[in-house]
Amino acid sequence: MEFLKMHGLGNDFIVLDRRRDPWTPSSQEVRRLCDRHRGVGADGVILLLPPTESDSAAVMRIFNRDGSDGEVCGNGLRCVGDLLLRNDGVAQTSVQIDDGRARITRIAARSGTPSMVEVLLPSPGRRLSDLPATIPGISPDGDLVDRSPTDVRFPGVPLPDDVRMTLVSVGCPHAVLMTEAADDASLETVGPLVGEHAWFPMGINVHLVRRLAPGHLRMRTWERGAGPTLACGTGACAVAVADQWAGGMPGEDGLIRISMPGGDLWIGLDGSAEGRIRMRGPAVEVARGVLAPHWNTGFESETPS
């Protein structure tokens, strides 16, 4: 079985193009592939399947490192878009994935630099039912935007005193924690305590964020199903949206720069709650290879990670 290794700002994926021969790995097989000691090693597995719409290039499925379904992945979308645009048609400038939720466009890059790809994502959701989330005292049609966790009695999580919390859905759920202490807070402690909290029955991605300047924010991410990652594309979109909802402003170019340990993304918003999101950043192909015939044997002797 052929595979590609790709990454977006260090958020790395094993890409399996199964459009001609559809196949879906088990959660155990996903864990083996992503194991950095026994497998190829990655934050997740991306599966390309035959398109179901006439104007779509492929159906994309993303699996987290623990084998769970990843729903939507911004860095993964950029990687897949770059791959499809390079392999399926040099003359193409844009490609559509799945059911039209995301359109991907190649951006001209300087010689010798990674491909720059822009993804157009659906408008964000702010209702608790969009995430989903169940919070005492707030209706499913209500939201949690720029609020102190103390105000809503968020229990059992040691958060900095100045934290402002916003919940955003960008096809997958995100908890944005804005605080001046974002660089110093323990992501390994806060991430799972918030991400696996009873308020979020499907789990939630967690971001510690500091506003550096108007239109420039820095974030650290704990992803459900993967843990701390170097970058999160949909998370960067959620952080930009949360900043806008809290009264933040874009930079002079109209874009919001989101800095992560793996590098920077640029997010464009049209200023309305209903507007779609533009995410711009690099996509890099690292290697191509072939899995050995017996790569998926010997699971019984392993301890699940």
Q: How far is CA 123 from the centre of its chain?
A: 15
| 70 closest CA partner among 61, 82, 83 | 61
Domain that holds residue 43: 2-121+285-301
Residue 246 shares a structural domain with residue 157: yes
| 7 closest CA partner among 44, 50, 52 | 44
The 10s digit of each residue's pLDDT in 87-115 is 765 456 678 887 556 778 877 655 666 77
pLDDT-based confidence at residue 276 (cuts at 50, 70, 90): confident
| pTM, full prediction | 0.88
Q: What are 249's two structure tokens?
A: 């402003």
CB 102 within 8 A of CB 55: no
The answer to whether position 252 is within a domain reads: yes
d(CA 178, CA 146): 8
% residues pLDDT > 90 (the chain):
67
pLDDT-based confidence at residue 304 (cuts at 50, 70, 90): low
Please list the active-site residues.
Answer: 73, 232
The 10s digit of each residue's pLDDT in 72-87 is 899 999 999 888 888 7
Query: Could you tell me the CATH number of the domain that includes residue 157?
Result: 3.10.310.10
pLDDT at 88: 62
Domain count for the chain, please give it.
2
The answer to whether position 280 is within a domain reads: no
Residue 105 shares a structural domain with residue 152: no
Residue 110 shares a structural domain with residue 147: no
Residue 105 shares a structural domain with residue 187: no
Out of 162-171, 187-196, 242-251, 293-302, least confident range: 293-302
Residue 137 shares a structural domain with residue 228: yes
Residue 132 shares a structural domain with residue 190: yes
Instruction: Compare 225 and 99 and report the one with higher pLDDT.
Output: 225
pLDDT at 54: 79
pLDDT at 110: 59
pLDDT-based confidence at residue 169 (cuts at 50, 70, 90): very high
Residue 258 shares a structural domain with residue 197: yes
Residue 264 shares a structural domain with residue 132: yes
Distances (CA, A) of 265 to 73, 217, 278: 14, 10, 10
The answer to whether position 247 is within a domain reads: yes
pLDDT at 299: 64
The answer to whether position 248 is within a domain reads: yes
Q: How many other CB atoms sit within 10 Å of the CB of residue 159?
A: 20
Average pLDDT over residues 152-168: 88
What's the whole-number average pLDDT of the chain? 89
DSSP line for 35-60: -TTTSS--SEEEEEE--SSTT-SBEE
pLDDT at 225: 87
